[in-house]
């Protein structure tokens, strides 16, 4: 795989049983690139290893006053220099290619999982952790994959050099050969503590990132209540904890680096002292001493790769574990078994008894907003299957669309059939035209969707927002998550985007909670008109939206308890009235007793507003 061939047509099915298994799977899929990098690394390392021999020949040739051998040594040095340059260049190219392609594979896997889980992802994994996995963790995993082949080449070169020195000059070569394993493995006892400190640093950094993300997302609210300093103080404390953890981690890695410098230094001093003694006694030539000393010195370079691979693995293992935590999530406990079927018809949830007839606008009232959000996710086939509720989710019956279980159809088919817009939809950065350029049936135009969502004032504001759009609001850029817009403007643009898709069934969770009552009434009428003949489900408790629905369903404690139109349920169903009118306990008791007149008066007022 070359960088120009990215992205992968299929990133594969990863082994998510553990972090190390995931790293092994990733390395196995990079086997071709690893072998290329290993080959060029061996050429580079062995070219370096050949220099001491040629330098020793040159020194001895000068001592012996042999011009021919000196010229030969010079030619060999030039040839080795060329091999080292070519090997180093190609090693860098192939190693970086391994890094980038491995990181791209992980990012594609994460993107695929994000698309599969949708909005359920951030409810099951903290937003800060998702950000850490998709940015810093991907880089660390790629680093380990890249360092692996260079380490293998360095280790092979060390073995070759030690064997060669032992054969070339046993008196000094054996000393070097016996010392090298000690130098390479000396840092192993320090790695567990260094790894724990690095894990602690990453954990605190993830919490700080999550706190920063939450603070930025709620900045408008924080300014409204004067809470900026409070959250800024919290972030300062979190960042200081990250700094202290980073310093503690750096101390361990500094100690490891110091060991990697101290022990080779002791080896070189011992080698020079013993070798000089042998040369003085005439037991070895000066050229041989120079050769062994030069080889031992150059061996410190590949020895550094042992430290790097230890650091890379220590950093990448927890990163891989976090990636595995995300990649091991599933949208449902069942596998797709129905292929080539696009379901149509009534939308029915057997767990609650909720029925949304085909072609009708159904409003659903839940006293618990969290219950409404979970039910909306179920209707879209996005029921959560976290570890704590996996058995319950597996036992719950699937939502049916036209009698076909959504859990049994492929994900893309289910998404095309039922679209769920949650109560806090996200607007991606880009122009308004790009925002509305989504897969659709092409039966609903962007203008019609914007009109139904009552986005006239939003378009006017966007037309004046920038001089670069030439007065065309469709060319105005929407900032990240639509932060430059008000909550009501974001909500209506998100609604327009959902209306443009024109799915078989559209599920809206509180689509008008951030707009005023006048706009809400027009939005409700716009939805009813544009979606006429299409299945629409809206979770809401606003009388203005409920009155525009063809039918209203009351869900209480996870079960449908009443079905009718808004006005009838308001008169006949106390639990419905309590949710819609926000009655207190005293008012509810009065509505069922002698206080009927005030209760009926409030009902009349609500109906007049509707």
pLDDT over 90 at 450, yes or no: yes
pLDDT of residue 606: 46
Band of residue 280 on the pLDDT scale cut at 50, 70, 90: confident
Two tokens, residue 465: 């927002």
pLDDT over 80 at 596, yes or no: no
Mean pLDDT for the stretch of residues 87-100: 89
pLDDT over 50 at 537, yes or no: yes
| Sequence-distant (≥ 6) Cβ neighbours of residue 92 within 8 angstroms | none
Share of residues in the chain with pLDDT > 90 (%)? 19
Q: Comparing 160 with 225, which gets the higher pLDDT?
A: 160
Band of residue 531 on the pLDDT scale cut at 50, 70, 90: very high
Band of residue 595 on the pLDDT scale cut at 50, 70, 90: very low
Q: Comparing 224 with 150, which gets the higher pLDDT?
A: 150
C-alpha distances in angstroms, 240 versus 153, 205, 211? 40, 10, 13
pLDDT of residue 224: 56
pLDDT of residue 179: 85
Q: Comparing 562 with 302, which gets the higher pLDDT?
A: 562
pTM: 0.62
Q: What is the pLDDT of residues 489-499, one digit of tens each?
A: 899 999 999 99
Band of residue 555 on the pLDDT scale cut at 50, 70, 90: very high
Mean pLDDT for the stretch of residues 248-261: 86
Band of residue 604 on the pLDDT scale cut at 50, 70, 90: very low
pLDDT of residue 205: 81
Band of residue 395 on the pLDDT scale cut at 50, 70, 90: low
pLDDT over 90 at 272, yes or no: no
Q: What is the DSSP letter of 350?
A: T
pLDDT of residue 129: 67
C-alpha distances in angstroms, 234 versus 240, 397, 592, 598? 10, 44, 49, 49
pLDDT of residue 552: 95
Band of residue 329 on the pLDDT scale cut at 50, 70, 90: confident
pLDDT of residue 448: 93
Rounded to whole angstroms, the Cα distance separating 180 from 263 reads 10
Q: What is the pLDDT of residues 150-207, one digit of tens each?
A: 888 888 888 888 888 888 888 888 888 888 888 888 877 887 888 788 778 877 887 7
Q: What is the DSSP letter of 479?
A: P
Band of residue 445 on the pLDDT scale cut at 50, 70, 90: very high
pLDDT over 60 at 20, yes or no: yes
Share of residues in the chain with pLDDT > 70 (%)? 85
pLDDT of residue 496: 94
Mean pLDDT for the stretch of residues 58-75: 85
Question: What is the chain's mean pLDDT, rounded?
Answer: 82
DSSP β-bridge partners for residue 553: 364, 563
Mean pLDDT for the stretch of residues 82-89: 91
3-state secondary structure 505-568: EEEEECCCCCCCHHHHHHHHHHHHHHCCCCEEEEECCCHHHHHHCCEEEEEECCEEEEEECHHH
């Amino acid at each position: 795989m070359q960088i120009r061939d990215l992205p992968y047509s299929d990133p594969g099915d990863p082994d998510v049983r553990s972090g190390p298994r995931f790293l092994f799977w990733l390395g196995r899929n990079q086997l071709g690139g690893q072998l290329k990098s290993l080959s060029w690394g061996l050429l580079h390392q062995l070219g370096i290893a050949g220099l001491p021999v040629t330098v020793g020949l040159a020194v001895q040739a000068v001592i012996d006053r042999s011009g021919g051998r000196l010229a030969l040594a010079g030619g060999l040095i030039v040839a080795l220099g060329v091999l080292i340059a070519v090997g180093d260049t190609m090693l860098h190219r192939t190693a970086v290619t391994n890094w980038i392609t491995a990181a791209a594979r992980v990012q594609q896997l994460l993107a695929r999982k994000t698309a599969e889980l949708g909005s359920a992802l951030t409810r099951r994994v903290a937003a800060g952790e998702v950000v850490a996995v998709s940015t810093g963790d991907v880089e660390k995993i790629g680093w380990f994959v890249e360092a692996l082949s260079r380490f293998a080449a360095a280790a092979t070169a060390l073995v070759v050099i030690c064997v060669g020195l032992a054969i070339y000059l046993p008196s000094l070569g054996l000393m070097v050969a016996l010392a090298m394993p000690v130098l390479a493995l000396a840092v192993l006892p320090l790695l567990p503590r260094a790894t724990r400190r690095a894990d602690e640093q990453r954990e605190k950094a993830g919490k700080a990132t999550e706190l920063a993300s939450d603070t930025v997302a709620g900045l408008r609210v924080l300014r409204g209540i004067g809470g900026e300093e409070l959250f800024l103080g919290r972030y300062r404390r979190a960042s200081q904890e990250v700094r202290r953890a980073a310093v503690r981690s750096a101390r361990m890695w500094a100690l490891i680096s110091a060991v990697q410098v101290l022990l080779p230094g002791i080896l070189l001093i011992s080698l020079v002292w013993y070798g000089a003694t042998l040369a003085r006694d005439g037991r070895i030539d000066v050229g041989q001493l120079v050769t062994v000393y030069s080889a031992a010195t150059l061996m410190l370079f590949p020895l550094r790769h042992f430290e790097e691979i230890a650091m890379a693995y220590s950093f990448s293992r927890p990163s891989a574990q976090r990636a595995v935590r995300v990649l091991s999530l599933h949208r449902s406990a069942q596998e797709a078994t129905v292929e080539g079927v696009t379901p149509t018809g009534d939308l029915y949830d057997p767990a609650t008894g909720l029925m949304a007839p085909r072609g009708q606008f159904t409003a659903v009232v839940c006293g618990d907003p969290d219950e409404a959000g979970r039910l909306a996710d179920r209707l879209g086939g996005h029921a959560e299957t976290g570890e704590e509720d996996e058995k319950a989710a597996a036992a719950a019956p699937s939502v049916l669309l036209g009698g076909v279980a959504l859990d049994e159809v492929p994900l893309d088919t289910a998404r095309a059939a039922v679209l769920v817009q949650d109560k806090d939809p996200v607007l991606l950065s880009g122009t308004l035209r790009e925002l509305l350029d989504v897969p659709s049936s092409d039966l609903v135009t962007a203008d019609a969707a914007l009109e139904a969502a009552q986005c006239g004032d939003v378009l006017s504001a966007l037309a004046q927002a920038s001089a670069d759009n030439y007065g065309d609001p469709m060319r105005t850029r929407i900032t990240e998550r639509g932060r430059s817009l008000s909550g009501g403007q974001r909500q209506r643009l998100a609604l327009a985007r959902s209306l443009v898709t024109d799915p078989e069934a559209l599920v809206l969770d509180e689509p008008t909670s951030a707009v005023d009552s006048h706009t809400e009434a027009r939005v409700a009428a716009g939805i009813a008109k544009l979606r006429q003949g299409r299945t629409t489900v809206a979770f809401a408790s606003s009388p203005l939206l409920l009155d525009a629905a063809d039918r209203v369903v009351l869900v209480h404690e996870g079960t449908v308890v009443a079905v009718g139109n808004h006005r009838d349920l308001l008169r006949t169903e106390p639990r419905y009235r309590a949710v819609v009118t926000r009655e207190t306990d005293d008012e509810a008791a009065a509505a069922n007793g002698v206080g009927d007149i005030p209760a009926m008066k409030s009902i009349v007022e609500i109906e007049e507003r509707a």
